[in-house]
Structure 1
Amino acid sequence: MSWTDERVAKLRELWGQGMSASEIADLLGDITRNAVIGKAHRLGLSGRPSPIKKKETKGATILSLTERMCKWPVGDPKSPDFHFCGKQAHAGLPYCAEHAALAYQPAKRRDEERKVSVA
């Protein structure tokens, strides 16, 4: 089995549609799931959420947090409803994209906001 331009194009298309590696391997034929995953990794195709359905949760608890989850605190820590965001963390950061934008502001914007709040 070789990766022709047509097969790579088909892999990119199916991967973008959210198909699982096993489904892609079956459609391409004469290829394993692991070969699909390896090629997708080498091509730098974006990671995707697991196709395994998870129960909807209201964030994450301190015990359920992993390094790949957003650690933005939500609510009052004294409240029983307190939790962490728990969404997929942005690469290299402890927060999801939404919370990283709040936590990491450019110095110029931050200084301008301080001037407005002081006035």
Structure 2
Amino acid sequence: MNWTDERVEKLKKLWSEGLSASQIATQLGGVSRNAVIGKVHRLSLPGRAKAGGTATSARTQTKRTTSAPRAPNYASRVVTRTVTRASGANLIKEEIEVESGEVLEFAPASNVVVPISRRLSLTELTERTCKWPVGDPMAEDFHFCGCDSQDSSPYCKFHAKLAYQPVSERRRA
């Protein structure tokens, strides 16, 4: 399949209209989705805006962090409230559903013994050391636990209990 001038112009037009690479490939015929993506890249066509935001905001929302436990925990529930609003000279009462959030307080068990970490850097980790991250990765004092880990786990016994919780305990939290 050759990219003729007409096909390239049609590709540019369909791309600017916001069609996906699969949809463009179907309309052009005789070309795969990957070929369309490659041609768009070689032509340096601008990215398309996502529905509900810009391409940058969509990328930011999908970023994931791989850090230690998150805090605080939030519980949300839907509450029905009666609200009065003005409509011209009349007041109208209506029921609306509002999602309310509560901060759950974390109370650690008092009988837990926290192991003293060996404070290893990334380059000092081995197959037999705990790889639990401690602190902010961008801070100077960031380190890994470094205690001895079990044979099949990347974490020591203490951090394995934090990382691998039974389903019933996660649902309760």
Which bracket does the TM-score occupy, shorter chain normalised?
0.3 to 0.5
The structure, 1 or 2, with the larger RCO (C-alpha pairs under 8 Å, 6+ apart) is: 1
